[in-house]
Amino acid sequence: MRSNIKLGKIHGIEIGLHYSWFIIAALIVFSLGEHFRQVNANWGMGLIWTAAVVTAALFFFTLLLHELAHSLVAQSRGLKVNEITLFALGGVSQVQDDATDAKTEFWVAIAGPIASLIIGFGCLAIAPHLGWQGSTKPHTAVSGVLFWLGYINVGLAVFNLIPGFPLDGGRVFRAIVWAITKNADRATRIAARVGQVVAFLFILDGIWQFSHGAGFGGLWIAFIGWFLMDAAKASYAEAGITASLRDMRVSEVMTHDCVTVNRGMSLQEFVDTYLLRGGERCFAVEDQGHFVGLITPRDVGRIPRDRWDSTTVRDAMRPLEELHIVTPDTPVLDALKLVASNDVNQLPVIANGALQGVVSRSQLVHLLQVRSELQLPAAYHPPPKDNVREMRSRHDSTSREDSESVHGAGSWRL
C-alpha cells in the first residue's frame, strides 16, 4: 500500500493518502450528514454539512494518531518507520524491519488501539458537558461531532483488537504466542491461520447480513473479510519462506562465475562476444584491474540498437556507486529484501574490497521454488560450505593470451 498524495513528514515519517481514502471520506460525510439531519431537525443545512465534514476531518486526524502511536512506539524500540498511509480500510504504518522480540511486537501492536480508546472515551466523556442528551434527542453541533468521533474511535479500537492477523489484535496474539513458544515463525503461522478463520467468519457474517437486508453494510463487512483473508494467507506464506531462509547467508547462494568485460568495449562487441555465446548472466566491468560496475542484458536493452556500435560498455553499465552491495555474510533474507525493494536483478557481493561474485533475483527465486517443490521443512539447511571459495571462472581453462579481459574476479579491487 503506497500513498498517492504526500502530506508531509512527522518525526521523519512520511504521511500520505491513498486515492481510496476519498471513497471512505465521502461515505462518512454523506452518512453522517444524513444522520445529523434525522436526529437534529433544528440544525440548518449549512450546520449539518459543516458538522459532517468537520467530523470526517477529525476522524482522519484521529486515525492518523492511531497510526502515529504504532509508529512512535516502533521508533522508540529501534525500528525504522518509513511511511504512514491512510486508505479506504484505515491506515498502515510501514515499519521497515520486523520486531526482533515479542515484547516490541506486543507494544507496537497495542499502541494503536490504546490511542484510539483514549481518544474515543475522552470524546465520549466531554460530549455530555457540551449538550449531548442521548442519541435520539437534539443536541448541539459540537457535542454531536464529539459523540460520533468518540463512538467511531472506540469502534476502531474494538475492531482492531479482533485477533485476526494482520489486524492489531492478531499481532498482539502473535506476540503472546511468540513469547510462549519462543519461535517467531511458528507464532506468525499460528496467528495467520487464526486470522484466516476470523476473516472467513467476517465473510460469512457479511453475506448473512446482506441476505437479511443489511445492503451495503453487509457487503462492506464481507469485503473487509476478503481483504483480511488475503492478507492472512500472504502472511502465512511469507512466514514459511522467512523460516526456511533465516539462517542462510549470501555466500551459500551466490554465483562465483563472473566474466570480466573491459569498459572500453563497444556494446555491439559485448553482445556478439559474450551475450550471444556462453550462458553467463554476470558481467563485471573493470578499469585497470578495478571493479567499476556491472552490465546486464537489461542495461544493453535500454540502448537503441543502432547505437550499440558507438556506445561503450562503460556508458551502458550500472556504475559501482549506483549498485546495492552485499557481503558474503549478508543474510539471504536481507538480499531478498534489497532485490525486491529496489527492483534490481543482481547484487554484487564484495568482501575486503574485492568482488566475490553476484547474487541474482533469479537465483533467489530458484532457491524458493526448489524449497517449495521439495517440500523441505523450514528447519532443513544444507551443511555449510567450508568457507567462501576463491572466485573461479569457467574461462580459467582457456589460454591466458586470449583472455586478457576474461579472468577470475579475485583480482578486482575497489
> Which is nearer to Zn ion, 64 or 333 (by Cβ)?
64
- Please state whether beta strands 283-287 and 5-10 pair in parallel, antiparallel, or not at all (unpaired): unpaired
> Which is nearer to Zn ion, 160 or 356 (by Cβ)?
160
Q: Which amino acid is at 230?
A: D
Calpha distance 23→31 (Å, rounded):
12
| Binding to Zn ion in span 135-194, by CB under 5 A | 160, 168
308, 267 contact by CB (below 8 A): yes
> Which is nearer to Zn ion, 112 or 206 (by Cβ)?
112
> Which is nearer to Zn ion, 79 or 258 (by Cβ)?
79
> Which is nearer to Zn ion, 105 or 168 (by Cβ)?
168
Question: Smallest gap, in angstroms, from Cβ of residue 394 to Zn ion?
Answer: 53
Binding piece for Zn ion, criterion CB under 5 A, among 81-89, 106-114, 189-197, 403-411: 106-114
Asked whether position 112 contacts Zn ion by CB under 5 A, the answer is yes
> Which is nearer to Zn ion, 53 or 64 (by Cβ)?
64
117, 157 contact by CB (below 8 A): yes
Question: Smallest gap, in angstroms, from Cβ of residue 224 to Zn ion?
Answer: 14
Please enumerate in sequence order all residues whose Cβ is within 8 A of that of 226, keeping only pairs 6 or more positions apart, or say none: 199, 203
| Nearest residue to Zn ion, by Cβ distance, number only | 112
> Which is nearer to Zn ion, 160 or 393 (by Cβ)?
160
| Binding to Zn ion in span 50-89, by CB under 5 A | none
Question: Smallest gap, in angstroms, from Cβ of residue 171 to Zn ion?
Answer: 8
Question: Smallest gap, in angstroms, from Cβ of residue 166 to Zn ion?
Answer: 10
Size of the site for Zn ion (CB under 5 A): 3
Angle between helices 184-209 and 168-181 (to 10 degrees): 150
Question: Smallest gap, in angstroms, from Cβ of residue 70 to Zn ion?
Answer: 5
Binding piece for Zn ion, criterion CB under 5 A, among 76-84, 109-117, 225-233, 241-249: 109-117
Q: Which amino acid is at 315?
A: D
Please state the length of the chain: 414
Calpha distance 288→290 (Å, rounded):
6
Asked whether position 286 contacts Zn ion by CB under 5 A, the answer is no
Residue with cell 506486543: 106
Question: Smallest gap, in angstroms, from Cβ of residue 17 to Zn ion?
Answer: 17
Question: Smallest gap, in angstroms, from Cβ of residue 108 to Zn ion?
Answer: 9
Task: Catalog residues that contact Zn ion under the rule CB under 5 A.
Answer: 112, 160, 168
